[in-house]
Structures are given as structure tokens and as C-alpha cells.
Amino acid sequence: MDEIKIIEIIKKTLKFSNKNVVKGIDDDCAVIKIDENFYLVATTDMMVKKTHIPSILTPYEIGRRILTANISDIASMGAKPLAFLLSISLSKEEANELFIKELYSGLDEFSKLYNCPVVGGDTNKGDELILSGTALGITDNPIYRRGEVGDDICVTNDLGRVYCALHLYYKLKYKKISYKEFEKLCQKYPKIFEKLKRPVARVKEGLLMNKLINGCCDISDGLGKEITYFKNFEIHTDKIFKLIPEDVVEFCEAFDLNPIKVALNSGEEFELLFTTSKFNKVKNTLKNYSKVHKIGKIIEEGQFIDGEEFHGGGYIHKW
């Protein structure tokens, strides 16, 4: 059993809908029609301490991260964030004033960044920290996970730093390196750990690109998984390599990692993966905000990387 199978079971079981629901399960956000001109987009994202929250993150960083994970879905729909709700389950360890203040201070900082107020949620007692966020947004033109034949497939900025940061974190966690060694490596690769600790959702980019792109999703589970939502495509490793920043290339050489695999499997990057027939217009529109890179094209049939069948990647929950 994995999360893809679970989602298929849920989709087959849920039969009721109504005319207001334009898109339900199967995209970054649900899309609900408000009137002839506007759509409400809604998403939820959960973080569980054991599987999602590295112990090196402070409560402040956790607060920023849970908001970013949810707002990134809103950004991928080309929508404007409206409001955020957070439900939390606290264990005895976290049920103290200092932790709660720090967590919500981080949340508050990024709610200002995204102009998205925190308006409610729920609290509960549990065996470990669980954060479940819900974000709402609005748009006149929701952007789905799709592409038209001939579209360029593009990515904002760069990929790979989060994978590298977690690679070192797990070396520390399983005592393959000492904490002193870990600290030295954090100082050597500051941008790698900055991307883990302070990821930013591409809200401005999503809004600016809205009328220039045909499809979009955010890179939360890794490029290797997200690209498969576009169904038929060919991507190229030489173009993916251009997404990889110099510090990640250097890191991969030092730790004997394949940089292309790192880029394909680096999750929680929160960059935008999109399709467009107007690449130059997108590039010019985003020039003051983000770089954009072509990595391939939408084709009529099949999924390929360098002419060979693509077998996916990224992160999938399995039981």
C-alpha cells in the first residue's frame, strides 16, 4: 500500500459532488466556483514529526515551513492566498508556552510575507507533534496540472539543496557523522541548509504567470514525481543539470551522489514546475523575481528522459 493507491481508493469511494466543484481530488488544490468571475481554491497539507520534521528545525522554522507547504499549492494554481488555518496535535514535549509562541511567531512572520492571515484551527493532545494546515485562495483563472503538446516544461530557480541538507541530517541522526562535523558542514554549505530551514512559496511568480502558462504544480514531492502529473513528456538531463546550483554539484562530488538523481528526488523545494508556449514572455515577466529553466517538452504520448522510458522518482509514502 502506498499513498497513490490510497488516493485511488478514496476517489472511487467518494461519489457525491455538486455543480460548484470544478476540481476535486487530483490537483494541488480543490477548485470551487464562486460566481462567473472567481474561483475559491483550497488545499490542506500535514506534517508529522516522525516523518516530516527534522529535529534540527526550531519551532519558529517549523511554523514557517507548514505555512509555506500549504501556500505553495495556492501559488501553483496561480491564485492569491486569502487565509490559513492550522490544527495542531501536541505531545507533552511541545505543550509549553515557549514552543507554542515560537511556532506561531514563525507562522506569523510568513503570513505577513504571503499576505495570508492565520484565522483559526484546532488544538489537540497526542503522542507526537502533528500539524495540519488548510489554505484558501482566490483566482479568476485556476491553473491545473496539464500541458498542451509542444509546450515547454519549465522550473523556477534551482533544485537539489533540500535533498543535500536531509542527506547530512540523516548522517547525523544515524550517527554516521558527529555533531561537530555536522556543524562544520552546515557552515560550509549555508545555502543548502537555508533552503531546508526557510523555504519560500512562489506566490508572486504564480500570480504573474497566470495568463502565460497552461499548467503548473509545485515541487513538494520531488521533480521525479511531480513531472508525471503532466502525463506525456520528454525531459533531458543536460537541461536538468542547469537547475542544479554550484554548491549542490560540489556537495554531490564530496559525498559521491548523482546530481541528476538528487535534482529529481529533492522534495519540499516548493519551486514551480509549469508548462507554457510563451517561455520568453514568462522569463521576462519573472526577471525581477525568479530564474526559469526549460527541461523538456509535452509530447503526444509516453514519458521519457533522454529518449529512454522514464521510471519516476521523488517521494511517495509507503506502508
> Does 218 carry a binding-site annotation?
yes
C-alpha cell at 193: 541548509
Average pLDDT over residues 85-100: 96
Is 220 annotated to bind ligand? Answer: yes
The whole-number pLDDT of residue 264 equals 97
From 9-23, 79-93, 101-115, 160-174, the region with the lowest mean pLDDT: 9-23
The reply to whether 315 sits in an annotated binding site is yes
Q: Contact 274/215 with Cβ under 8 angstroms? A: yes
Annotation-wise, does 44 bind a ligand?
yes
Strand partners for 90? 125
* Domain boundary, last residue among 116, 139, 162: 139
User: For the chain, what is the domain count?
Assistant: 2
Domain boundary (139, 170, 200) is at 139
If one counts every other C-beta atom within 10 angstroms of the C-beta of residue 92, the result is 9
158 and 299 belong to one structural domain: yes
Q: According to the annotation, is 45 in a ligand binding site? A: yes
pLDDT value of residue 252: 98
71 and 163 share a domain? no
Provide the pLDDT for residue 116. 98
- Tell whether 52 is in a known binding site: yes
Q: Are residues 134 and 12 in the same domain?
A: yes
Task: Looking at the structure, tell me whether residues 201 and 278 fall in a common domain.
Answer: yes
Q: Which domain, by its residues, includes 34? A: 3-139
The reported pTM is 0.95
Q: Rounded distance, CA 78 to CA 85, Å?
A: 20
% of the chain at pLDDT higher than 90: 93
200 and 275 co-located in one domain = yes
Dist. CA 107–CA 305, nearest whole Å: 39
Q: Are residues 121 and 166 in the same domain?
A: no
Cβ distance 188 to 257 under 8 Å? no
Question: Locate cell 495568463: which residue?
Answer: 211
The pLDDT of residue 45 is: 95
Q: Say whether 145 counts as a known binding-site residue.
A: yes
Q: Is the domain of 196 the same as that of 47?
A: no
Q: In terms of domains, do 94 and 200 share one? A: no
What CATH number does residue 130 fall under?
A: 3.30.1330.10
Q: Is the pLDDT of residue 212 over 90?
A: yes
Say whether pLDDT at 38 is over 90.
Answer: yes
Quick one: how far is CA 226 from the chain centroid? 9
Q: What pLDDT was estimated at residue 77?
A: 98
Q: Is residue 133 part of a domain?
A: yes
User: At which of 139, 168, 203 does a domain end?
Assistant: 139
Task: Evaluate whether residue 318 is within a structural domain.
Answer: no
pLDDT number for residue 128 = 95
Same domain for 173 and 28? no
- Evaluate whether residue 146 is within a structural domain: no
